[in-house]
Structure 1
Amino acid sequence: MTSLEGSLTRLRAVEPADVELLYTWENDPAVWAVSGTTEPFSREQIERFISRQLEGGDLLRTGQLRLMIEVPEPAGAAGTAETRTEAEPGMADEAKAANPNRTARTFRTIGTLDLFEYDPLHGRAGLGILIYDRDDRCRGYAADAVERLCRYAREGLRMHQLWCNVGADNEASLGLFRKLGFREVGTKRDWLWTPDGYRDEVLLQKILK
């Protein structure tokens, strides 16, 4: 799998060039509350994780698959450490020469999607999403990416259902998953410790049809 195109986003496999980006994101304490992280990651740990992903078949071997979420950048946009430019697929050299403005597309990486605890017998997996920069939230990117992943899980992986855990006070994430057809099937009381006390966690489930 190279990439999965949505309406606003595309999902692609993790690459070695993502080490610094993932190192930054995984070590941001602001993300730990939703990722369940309790200690920093080293670059070596991130590199090993990416190496396992690149070996292929990681979902079956480890029960986990990470995809990077990208959005297209306007022509002429300034590049950043999160930006990748690539040749447009399917174009012959002659076509590229005749259409210089179409020879490359630029994408900016904005987050991650994870499948975890994959159970091939029952055809299910947990789902987690991160849109890192606040400026990229509430723009439809998360909904588009999750919707595309649901199609991939159903059609490409022959999965029957996805589930996710969301803090009961995380209205934005609850609204996102409800909008995409996830149904609340239970509440785990006092499940999450926070500096302000224990919080409930909601379990949501979507049957892929």
Structure 2
Amino acid sequence: MATLLGENINLRALEPTDLDFLFATENNEQFWDISSTQLPFSKYILQQYIENAHQDIYEAKQYRFVICNAENIPVGMIDLFDFNPQHKRVGIGLLILPEHQNKGYASEALEMVIDYAFSYLDVHQIYANITSNNLKSIALFEKNNFKQVGIKKDWLFSNSTFKDEILYQLIIS
């Protein structure tokens, strides 16, 4: 899987040249809440991750796309995770760097990966876990027909505060 082309973005596989991008993103404490990260990653560990990113989603049960804008600059990532072909479901996570937000990249990437998951992975449903205070993500996923199906109360602990996490599902009929 090389590239998925959209109107304003493309989704591509991780490349060795993404090491600095991945290092800066994964070690940005601003994003640790959504990734459940508590310690920084070394470049060595991230380089190994990139080297193994070629694994098929059926083997690794996950896949990370780099979201690039029209100038082919990485602006974020969209992940498929917990892929379960037996039960025909997959989780989805999305991150757009703050300086690239509000340009439609998240919406276009989400639409592309929804289509990919239903068409090529033959899943029956896609789910997302979103903190209750992440209003932009809630609006994005609801715009794309994800339905709230549950709330995990006090699910995440960050900055001395518990946060609820909302479970969203998109089920194909």
TM-score interval (norm. to shorter): over 0.9
Aligned residue runs from structure 1 range 163-182, under 5 A: 163-182=127-146
Cα RMSD (Å): 1.1
**Runs of at least 5 residues in structure 1 that lack an aligned partner in the other structure:** 74-106
C-alpha deviation, 1:37, in angstroms = 0.7
Query: Which amino acid is the alignment partner of residue 80 of structure 2?
Result: L
C-alpha deviation, 1:196, in angstroms = 4.4
Aligned residue runs from structure 1 range 174-193, under 5 A: 174-193=138-157
- Counting aligned pairs with the same residue, the percent is 36
1:145 paired with 2:143, answer no
Q: What residue in structure 1 maps to residue 76 of structure 2? A: 111
Q: What residue in structure 2 maps to residue 130 of structure 1? A: 95
Aligned with residue 71 of structure 1, among 69, 72, 77: 69
Tell me, yes or no, if the aligned pair for 1:150 and 1:208 is still in contact at 8 Å. no
C-alpha deviation, 1:194, in angstroms = 2.0
- TM-score (ref. length: structure 1): 0.80
Distance 1:127 1:208 in 2: 15
Aligned residue runs from structure 1 range 12-161, under 5 A: 12-54=12-54, 56-57=55-56, 59-73=57-71, 107-132=72-97, 134-161=98-125
Max Rg structure: 1
Query: Which amino acid is the alignment partner of residue 27 of structure 2?
Result: N
Query: Which amino acid is the alignment partner of residue 64 of structure 1?
Result: Q
Distance 2:60 2:3 in 1: 21
Query: Which amino acid is the alignment partner of residue 69 of structure 2?
Result: V
C-alpha deviation, 1:208, in angstroms = 3.4
Distance 1:169 1:23 in 2: 26
Q: What residue in structure 2 maps to residue 100 of structure 1? A: none
Bigger drift between 151-160 and 22-31 goes to: 151-160
- TM-score (ref. length: structure 2): 0.96
Distance 2:62 2:133 in 1: 27
Q: What residue in structure 1 maps to residue 162 of structure 2? A: 198
C-alpha deviation, 1:145, in angstroms = 0.3
Structure 1: which 4+ aligned runs deviate by more than 2 Å? none
Q: How many residue pairs align between the two structures?
A: 173
